[in-house]
């Protein structure tokens, strides 16, 4: 049995779902993978829950946000570095908000974990998008892994497909529907809604964030295609390297025109290799019925890899919610120890 210490940063929707999933899957992970996954700390902005005891923190799954700071294991002012300095090495599970200007607070947390010789499984995107090379070089230097399925379309296995299933093949192009929210909105517009109506409906149903700009304007898809390209194709793309257009400007007339040609409009993260160089972009493209992503509708996501030796390989589906993201984090942790 391998004992794995874990610390979660960010106790929001994803962090909370991860803790609940851990409790649900603890026995399964022991029996199937020989992994004893022990949560020892959950770090918030002003302190954290901490237990150094064998088995760590248990019974947190039912804890509401309001109960965190009155829990017996709460340590006001506890920092991640303090927790890491006491615990055996394991995995940082990074679930703080994504900030694409500074990468914080995830950047500082990931740097602290790597410095202390901990692996990282990240759901947040900011630090990895802004400091990809530096963080992965640091991980290699420290002999640890950074996994980011949670940041690259979560339950849809984009990185695992590209880096494991397609190993040895050269990826010549990628098309991805990487954001479920925008795919859903385009579908509702196809059915006759205006952009504003479709967005409002998505917000009412909890599909779109109260501040939907990152999804709607293509930034979320840009982060994902960038991380997939850098991980799978050895590029060193930054956000400034790819043109990004979202779905805000799409009109009913655009959708009707595509439809009259038998096509659908999809927001795609796209990577193409030309003359030995890769170019990435995010935009709205007409997709033909023969394209593997044509039938990916609603909040579903999908990705297709075009390769030199394996033809094209498409993966579709995968839950888009916090539980699906938590499952992607758990998968990354299991695979770190395989």
CA distance 120 to 220: 21
Q: Where are the beta strands (DSSP E) in the chain?
A: 2-9, 35-44, 47-50, 74-76, 90-94, 119-122, 146-147, 171-177, 264-274, 277-287, 302-307, 312-316
Min CB(122)–ligand NAP separation in Å: 8
Residues that bind ligand NAP (CB under 6 A): 9-15, 43-45, 95-98, 105, 123-125, 150-151, 154, 321-322, 325
Min CB(201)–ligand NAP separation in Å: 18
Looking at the Cβ atoms of 264 and 331, the one nearer to ligand NAP is 331
Looking at the Cβ atoms of 95 and 216, the one nearer to ligand NAP is 95
> DSSP of 190-231, one letter per residue?
HTT--HHHHHHHHHHTTSS-SS-HHHHTSHHHHHHHHHHHHH
Sequence-separated (6 or more) residues with CB below 8 Å from residue 275: none
Min CB(144)–ligand NAP separation in Å: 21
Give me the residue whose beta carbon is nearest to ligand NAP. 12
Q: Which of 25, 147, 224, 266 is catalytic?
A: 224
CA distance 314 to 161: 9
Looking at the Cβ atoms of 125 and 291, the one nearer to ligand NAP is 125
Looking at the Cβ atoms of 258 and 296, the one nearer to ligand NAP is 296
Task: Note the Cα 219 to chain centre separation in Å.
Answer: 13
Sign of the CA dihedral with 220 first, then 224, 119, and 329 last: positive
Min CB(64)–ligand NAP separation in Å: 12
Min CB(313)–ligand NAP separation in Å: 23
Question: Is residue 229 packed enough to be buried (19+ CB in 10 Å), middle (13-18) or exposed (0-12)?
Answer: buried
First to last CA, the chain: 12
Looking at the Cβ atoms of 205 and 295, the one nearer to ligand NAP is 205
Q: Is 224 a catalytic residue?
A: yes
Where in the sequence numbering do the catalytic residues fall?
224
């Amino acid at each position: 049995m391998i004992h794995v210490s874990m610390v979660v940063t960010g106790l929001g929707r994803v962090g909370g779902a991860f803790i609940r999933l851990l409790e649900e899957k603890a026995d399964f992970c022991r029996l199937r993978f020989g992994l004893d996954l022990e949560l020892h700390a959950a770090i918030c902005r002003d302190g954290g829950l901490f237990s150094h005891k064998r088995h760590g923190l248990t019974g947190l799954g039912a804890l509401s946000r309001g109960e965190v700071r009155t829990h017996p294991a709460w340590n006001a002012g506890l920092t991640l570095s303090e927790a890491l300095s006491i615990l055996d090495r394991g995995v940082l599970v990074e679930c703080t908000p994504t900030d694409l200007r500074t990468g914080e607070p995830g950047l500082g947390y990931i740097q602290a974990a790597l410095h202390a010789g901990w692996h990282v499984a990240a759901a947040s995107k900011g630090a990895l998008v802004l400091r990809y090379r530096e963080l992965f070089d640091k991980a290699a230097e420290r002999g640890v892994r950074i996994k980011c399925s949670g940041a690259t379309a979560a339950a849809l296995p984009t990185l695992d497909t590209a880096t494991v299933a397609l190993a040895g093949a050269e990826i010549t192009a990628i098309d991805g529907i990487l954001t479920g929210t925008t795919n859903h909105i385009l579908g509702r517009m196809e059915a006759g809604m205006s952009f504003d109506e479709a967005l409002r409906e998505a917000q009412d149903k909890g599909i779109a964030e109260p501040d939907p700009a990152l999804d709607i304007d293509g930034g979320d898809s840009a982060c994902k295609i960038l991380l997939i390209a850098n991980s799978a194709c050895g590029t060193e793309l930054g956000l400034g390297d790819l043109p990004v257009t979202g779905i805000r400007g799409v009109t009913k007339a655009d959708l009707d025109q595509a439809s009259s040609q038998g096509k659908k409009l999809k927001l795609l993260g796209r990577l193409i290799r030309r003359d030995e160089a890769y170019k990435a972009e995010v935009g709205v493209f007409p997709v033909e019925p023969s394209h593997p992503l044509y039938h990916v509708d609603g909040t579903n996501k999908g990705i297709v890899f075009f390769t030199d030796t394996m033809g094209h390989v498409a993966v579709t589906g995968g839950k888009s919610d916090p539980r699906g993201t938590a499952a992607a984090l758990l998968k990354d942790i299991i695979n770190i120890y395989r």
